[in-house]
Structure formats: structure tokens, C-alpha cells
A and B are shown apart, each in its own frame.
Chain A
Amino acid sequence: MATYNTSDFRKGIKVQIDGTPYLMVECNFVKPGKGNALYKCRMRNLLLGTMLDRTYKGGDSLESADVEDINAQFLYRQGDTFFFMDQESYEQYELSKEKVDEAWKYLKEGMVCSMTLFNNNPIAVEPPFHVVLKVEYAEPTVRGNTATGLSKLVKLETGAEISVPSFIEQNQTIKVDTRTGEYVERVKE
């Protein structure tokens, strides 16, 4: 297993601590002139999303994590299990609803997502930044309420609910920003 020494520590490396993969999001080198070199690191747990702060001294090392991002197409959902296919190897992966997390709101059959594999097992999936989805159900627009600033909740074809301007109607398609979960614009078909 490859290792990273403290001199290789930097933002963006993926390491493994007690079998869990982490992404180093911050690394600060601190050293008194004549004293021990310290590396104050902040790492994101790639399984849970939680942050871990650890201080290492010069000469320490961490195992690298075998983490890889692939393009995977969302095939279908069966109960609480989501099925994907690697665009290159055509290998199929399944991911639980828990690991899919918020991404379920945007997953549409055929959509190509970024999937993270750790030791060849999928641990997370991210939809494209922008997705186009159909409004499956919307309360009819009340006449006279098409003015600016008003919004309403609609149900998308994925089953997710999202807040949109009041002029959006059922069966229209809209663009959504998956990073913020917000409505972007109406898309003409």
C-alpha cells in the first residue's frame, strides 16, 4: 500500500485512517524555529462527510486510500437500492439509499453521474451540477398571482419536492442546480 509522508501532505490527497477513506481539505505547516515540525490537517470522511482534525509531526505518514472517481450511468431504482453502470467497463454497481443520500432527488434513468469507488466499492454518487427534470405535479397557477417573488412547491418526476416560481405548471420541464437544490430556469422542450 502506498503511503504519504508528511512532506507529501497537501490539500486534495486521499488517505486512509483505520480503514476509512478521507480527503485532506486543509494542511497547515507549523514549526517553531528550533522545534518540532507539525502538520495540522483537516480531513473529510468520505463515507460520512464528517470532518476530522488531526495534528501530525514531521516524519509521520498516512496510508493512501484507493479512491477513484468514475462516470457511472444511473440505470434504475429497486426499492432502496440504486443501480449504476460504469460507462467504460460496463460493470454494474449498486448503492443503498443511505449512500446515495440527497442525490436521489435528481437521479433520472440514463443520467451520467460521478461515482466514487473505495477499494472498488461505490461509496458515493454525485449527479451533474445541473439536471433537467419534469414537473410531475403542480397546483394550478392562480390567476393574478403570476407576479414576481411568489413561489410554490412542486413534485418532480423523481418524487422530490422543490420550490419553484408560481408560473411553473404541471408537465413543464425545469433546470435544477443539484449543489444548492434550487430551481434555475424553465426549459422549453
Chain B
Amino acid sequence: MFSDFHPTASWKVLRLRSDLLHRTRDFFRTRGFLEIETPLLSHDVVVDRHLDPLRVTLPDDPRHPEVGRTMWLQTSPEFAMKRLMAAGGEAIFQITRAFRAAEQGRLHNPEFTIVEWYRQSDSYADGMTLLSDLAESLLGLPRARRVTYKEAFQTHAGIDPHRGTVAEVLAALESLQVEVPAGLADDRDGILDLLLSQIVGPRLGVDQPTILCEYPPTQAALSQVRASEPPVAERFELYVRGIELANGYHELLDPQVLRARNRANNQLRAADGKPTLPDESRLLAAMEHGLPPCTGCALGFDRVVMLAAGVSTIAEAMAFPIDRA
């Protein structure tokens, strides 16, 4: 009946995957991190314009499975892990599954494995150092180089991403022969993303892993914005051979700022014709109580396995991708 019951990863890669799981645990445990577990199914979910969670109805009566409480499969364990940090967590990590709707391709599967960690009192720089150490230990590569978002865009696209006008970004896209999809031309962050995914990103981490840092404040997500001139978001991403592997934040602590970002994201989601997501959450309550200064980061584990194994799709790094799940 099903001729595609076979795994898409070889046993050789599955053994490497197991080895990398052990090495990840060892890395954090030797540094005093506590391994924790948080729910995959939650009342709360990250509110992001471009992250689409899977909604699950928990039926009150199994005969009417469509009626009941709305829960969300987590797009990352971020909210629950920060609640643990607010409740006294010092250094925590977990290896878990995350779900993102409509993400499927060479480097995407709607269900994937994420490694996420938080450590109290870590500065922005400390967070990047820890990520670099982890990448070094898992992939056996040299230390990561830090490049600011501005430097990367100036080098590879010839524009200043903070001060450049929309017209300048569009001109750069045109001279680099990148097609701008209809309806994206008036979305400043959208066209910066386009440059990042088509031109800048693929050129990062080619000789040596690269940590991209100091993002535009409009792309802060859940990071703090530093009041420099121009202001920059204390967010960072690791690139290895042009592939984005991890995303971290010097964490935003102010619940009022998060509320405002949630509202803004929901307005953009509504404008995009997408369902809005819950504005309020237990994370906000935890932040009202007080989230200690900390830095956190999430790593796409399947992509790490893919790079370590030298295969070119994440399907070859996992036993059963979505089409065979």
C-alpha cells in the first residue's frame, strides 16, 4: 500500500544524529545547564507576522471533536522557557520539537527539532560566544566571526540597511537581478528579508561560521533594542555555509513593549489575511512579575545534522519528513 515507508535518512546519518544529540546534551550539562521539558501544546503562542502556528482544538466531548479549547502547537519553546526563567531558572536548555505551518522545502519541515537555551545575566556578547562555542563543538568548525547586519548589507548589497530608503533597497535588488514579488515593494522589512535570503545570507559563513548581529529595530522580534544611533535590535543569527542555523536574543524584559509588538504583529497578520494570535499570554504575566536579564537562543538541529553529514536536504537528516510522516 505505502511504497514510501522507508526512511529518507541513511543509517549512517541517523547514527551521526544520535551522536550529535548526545554531544549537545554534554555541551550544556558540562556548563551547568539544567535540561528541562515544556509543553508542545499550549494556550499561548509566539505572535509573529511570519510564523504560523498549528491550531489544535481540545474537545470537551470526543463526539464533537471540533468544539473545545483552542491550543497551539509551539513554533518554539520560547514562552514556556522564559516563564521558567522568571520563576528562578538560572541556565536551562531543552531539545524538543517545534511546528510551523506551511514551511516545507529543502531546509524546512513543518515539524522539526529545536535546541533552545537561556542563561541568566548573559550579555548580548556572552550569548554570541556561547552559540559560537556550541557550533564549534558540534560541527568542528573554527570560531564564528561577528558581522553586523549593516556591515553584511554594505559588503554584499552595497546599501545601508538602517538609513537606506525603500527606493535604494529596491535599486539594489534590481542591480543584483533579484525579482521582487508583487505586493512586497512597499514593505521595507520584506525587501530587506528578500536581500538577506537571496543575496546576503548565502554569502555568510562560507569560509568561517558567521554570527549576524545588530538587526534593524523593526526586526527585533523578542529582543531588546539598544538606544544607539541608529538604534539596533540585540538579536543574532548564526550562518554556516550560507545556511541560517540559529537565532538568539538579548531578551526583551519589558512586558509593555512586548504587548505593543504583539499588537503590531497581529495588525500585520490581519492585513495579510491571516488569523490573529492571542495578544495576552502567561509569558506577559511572567514578565510583569519580572524576567531576569538573560540571553537565549534556538538552534535548528536538523540543519546541524545536515551540515555535519554533508547532505543537501534536511529530509536526508531525519527519518521521516512530513510527506512520509
CB pair A29–B103 under 8 Å, yes or no, is yes
Q: How large is the interface on B (under 10, 10 to 19, 20 to 34, 35 or more residues)?
A: 20 to 34
CB pair A30–B197 under 8 Å, yes or no, is yes
CB pair B184–A36 under 8 Å, yes or no, is yes
Known: A30-B197, A32-B197, A34-B50. 9 other contacts (CB 8 A): A7-B102, A29-B104, A29-B105, A29-B106, A35-B193, A36-B194, A54-B179, A55-B181, A57-B183
CB pair B181–A32 under 8 Å, yes or no, is no
Using known A-B contacts A29-B108, A32-B201, determine if residue A37 contacts B102 with beta carbons closer than 8 Å: yes
* Number of interchain pairs (Cβ within 8 Å): 68
Least Cβ–Cβ distance between A177 and chain B, in angstroms: 30
CB pair A28–B244 under 8 Å, yes or no, is no
* Complex contacts, A57 vs chain B, CB 8 Å: 181, 183-184, 190
CB pair A32–B272 under 8 Å, yes or no, is no
A41-93 CB contacts (< 8 Å) to partner B: 53-60
A121-137 CB contacts (< 8 Å) to partner B: none
Chain A CB within 10 Å — which of B180, B181, B190, B196 has the most? B181
| Bound CA–CA A66/B256 (angstroms) | 53
Residue of B nearest to A35 (CB): B193
CB pair B50–A60 under 8 Å, yes or no, is no
Q: CB-CB contacts of B148-192 with A at 8 A, as 1s and 0s?
A: 000000000000000000000000000000111111100101100
Least Cβ–Cβ distance between A19 and chain B, in angstroms: 17
CB pair A37–B272 under 8 Å, yes or no, is no
| Bound CA–CA A35/B183 (angstroms) | 15
* Complex contacts, A7 vs chain B, CB 8 Å: 102
CB pair B181–A31 under 8 Å, yes or no, is no
* Interface residues in A, total, Cβ within 8 A: 21
Using known A-B contacts A7-B102, A54-B179, determine if residue A34 contacts B184 with beta carbons closer than 8 Å: no
CB pair A37–B51 under 8 Å, yes or no, is no
Residue of B nearest to A10 (CB): B104
Interface residues of B (CB under 8 A from A): 48, 50-51, 102-106, 108, 178-184, 187, 189-190, 193-194, 196-198, 201, 219, 221, 237, 244, 247, 272-274
CB pair A33–B182 under 8 Å, yes or no, is no
Least Cβ–Cβ distance between A32 and chain B, in angstroms: 5
CB pair A60–B182 under 8 Å, yes or no, is yes
* Complex contacts, A55 vs chain B, CB 8 Å: 178-181
Asked if A38 CB lies within 8 Å of chain B CBs, one says yes
11 contacts between A and B (CB under 8 A): A28-B106, A29-B105, A31-B108, A32-B197, A36-B190, A37-B102, A37-B103, A38-B181, A55-B181, A57-B190, A59-B274
Using known A-B contacts A29-B108, A55-B179, determine if residue A36 contacts B193 with beta carbons closer than 8 Å: yes
Least Cβ–Cβ distance between B277 and chain A, in angstroms: 15
Residue of A nearest to B183 (CB): A57
CB pair B179–A53 under 8 Å, yes or no, is yes
| Bound CA–CA A54/B182 (angstroms) | 10
Least Cβ–Cβ distance between A4 and chain B, in angstroms: 14
| Bound CA–CA A85/B26 (angstroms) | 71
Residue of A nearest to B105 (CB): A29
* Complex contacts, B50 vs chain A, CB 8 Å: 31, 34-37, 58
CB pair A38–B194 under 8 Å, yes or no, is yes
A1-48 CB contacts (< 8 Å) to partner B: 6-7, 28-38
* Complex contacts, B193 vs chain A, CB 8 Å: 32, 35-36
9 pairs of A and B residues whose beta carbons are closest in the complex: A29-B105, A35-B193, A57-B181, A55-B179, A33-B247, A7-B102, A55-B181, A32-B197, A36-B193
Chain B CB within 10 Å — which of A35, A56, A60 has the most? A35
Least Cβ–Cβ distance between B262 and chain A, in angstroms: 14
* Complex contacts, B182 vs chain A, CB 8 Å: 60
CB pair B197–A60 under 8 Å, yes or no, is no
CB pair A34–B197 under 8 Å, yes or no, is no
* Complex contacts, A32 vs chain B, CB 8 Å: 193, 196-197, 201, 244
* Complex contacts, A30 vs chain B, CB 8 Å: 105, 197-198
| Bound CA–CA A101/B1 (angstroms) | 41
Residue of B nearest to A56 (CB): B181
CB pair A59–B273 under 8 Å, yes or no, is yes
Least Cβ–Cβ distance between B34 and chain A, in angstroms: 26
Least Cβ–Cβ distance between B195 and chain A, in angstroms: 10
* Complex contacts, B219 vs chain A, CB 8 Å: 34
* Complex contacts, A38 vs chain B, CB 8 Å: 181, 194, 197
Least Cβ–Cβ distance between B113 and chain A, in angstroms: 15
Least Cβ–Cβ distance between A175 and chain B, in angstroms: 33
